[in-house]
């Protein structure tokens, strides 16, 4: 019975630690850029868009702008995912926790 109580206590601590880590991740900002920086996307660690910057010189070519936006977004999402997985993975010791990441 004592081991079950200890496991429950560890699970509660893990849950609290994960909530703190998720809150910290939400405050981190990452940048994805494309075209040598003519398009930049800034996301939070929990993948919310903070800002998009587009240089005026790419405004005339819609197809190129679309491609640059996709590249910049994908780069920013990849960085945010790496940060999230790194922080959360450290808490769970690499154990996959469904619904977290």
pTM attached to this predicted model: 0.76
DSSP 28: -
Structural domains present in the chain: 2-92 (3.30.1310.10)
pLDDT digits (tens, 9 = 90+) for 75-94: 999 999 999 888 888 776 65
- Whether residue 47 is predicted with pLDDT greater than 80 in this model: the reply is yes
What band does 8 get if pLDDT is binned at 50, 70 and 90?
confident
In Å, what is the CA distance from 46 to each residue of 61, 64, 69, 73, 75?
31, 27, 19, 13, 14
pLDDT of residue 101: 45
54: β partners: 39
């Amino acid at each position: 019975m004592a081991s079950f109580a200890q496991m429950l206590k560890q699970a509660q601590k893990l849950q609290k630690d994960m909530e703190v880590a998720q809150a910290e991740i939400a405050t981190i900002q990452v940048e994805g850029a494309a075209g040598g920086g003519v398009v930049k996307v800034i996301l939070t660690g929990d993948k919310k868009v903070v800002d998009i910057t587009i240089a005026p010189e790419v405004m005339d070519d819609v197809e190129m702008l679309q491609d640059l936006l996709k590249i910049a977004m994908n780069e920013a999402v990849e960085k945010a995912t790496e940060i999230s997985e790194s922080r959360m993975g450290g808490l769970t010791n690499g154990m996959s926790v469904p619904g977290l990441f």
